[in-house]
């Protein structure tokens, strides 16, 4: 039995002047879903990229959250099994950890969140810049 995780990709948009969030995709990981595993690998992939709306010479970007989600899947999925795409409304797949990736077009910044999924209410462990995730993981080892 592995340490399962769900990673949600959330697109923020303004509709009629109000901010709306929509989950566009959920990726399930069967093994190594803990922060030292999947969380660290995800943060490492995201940390030097920014979110844009249209792109030019800089290829180290995500052209919207759909592009971000597709690039993450391409990065992780290497063959049969291990990673799966679930419907965007999936909340319970027997996972141990939840991750969310949100983007802000105005700043180009991505936000990564990590939650323990044990019990009825997920516990927030980290929310911030993917560049700061490694320091969070190190701080957990000291406890």
Give the model's pLDDT for residue 3: 95
Give the model's pLDDT for residue 79: 96
Which of 72, 86, 80 lies closest to 4 in space, CA to CA?
86
Q: Encoding tokens for residue 104? A: 């802000």
Which of 115, 104, 113 lies closest to 133 in space, CA to CA?
113
Do the beta carbons of residue 12 and residue 74 sit within 8 Å? Answer: no
Q: Which residue has the tokens 């399930």?
A: 28
Give the model's pLDDT for residue 120: 75
Q: Encoding tokens for residue 92? A: 């319970």
Cα 94 from Cα 46, distance rounded (Å): 25
Q: Encoding tokens for residue 72? A: 């993450």
Do the beta carbons of residue 62 and residue 103 sit within 8 Å? Answer: yes
Q: What is the pLDDT of residues 62-90, one digit of tens each?
A: 999 999 999 999 999 999 999 999 999 99
Do the beta carbons of residue 119 and residue 63 sit within 8 Å? Answer: no
Q: What is the pLDDT of residues 89-100, one digit of tens each?
A: 999 999 999 999
Q: Determine if the pTM surpasses 0.85.
A: yes
Cα 58 from Cα 99, distance rounded (Å): 27
Cα 28 from Cα 136, distance rounded (Å): 22
Do the beta carbons of residue 71 and residue 60 sit within 8 Å? Answer: no
Give the model's pLDDT for residue 88: 95
Q: Encoding tokens for residue 14? A: 């303004």
Give the model's pLDDT for residue 124: 96
Instruction: Give every residue of the chain whose pLDDT is below 50, as ranges.
Output: none
Give the model's pLDDT for residue 143: 65
């Amino acid at each position: 039995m592995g340490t399962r995780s769900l990673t949600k990709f959330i697109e923020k948009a303004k509709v009629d002047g109000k901010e709306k969030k929509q989950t566009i995709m959920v990726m399930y990981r069967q093994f190594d879903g803990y922060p030292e595993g999947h969380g660290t690998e995800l943060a490492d992939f995201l940390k030097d990229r920014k979110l844009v709306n249209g792109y030019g010479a800089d290829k180290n970007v995500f052209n919207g959250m759909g592009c971000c989600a597709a690039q993450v899947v391409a990065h992780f999925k290497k063959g049969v099994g291990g990673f799966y795409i679930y419907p965007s409304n999936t909340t319970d797949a027997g996972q141990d950890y939840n991750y969310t990736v949100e983007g802000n077009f105005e700043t180009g910044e991505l936000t990564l969140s990590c939650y323990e999924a044990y019990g009825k209410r997920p516990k927030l462990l980290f929310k911030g810049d993917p560049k700061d995730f490694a320091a969070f993981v190190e701080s957990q080892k000291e406890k």
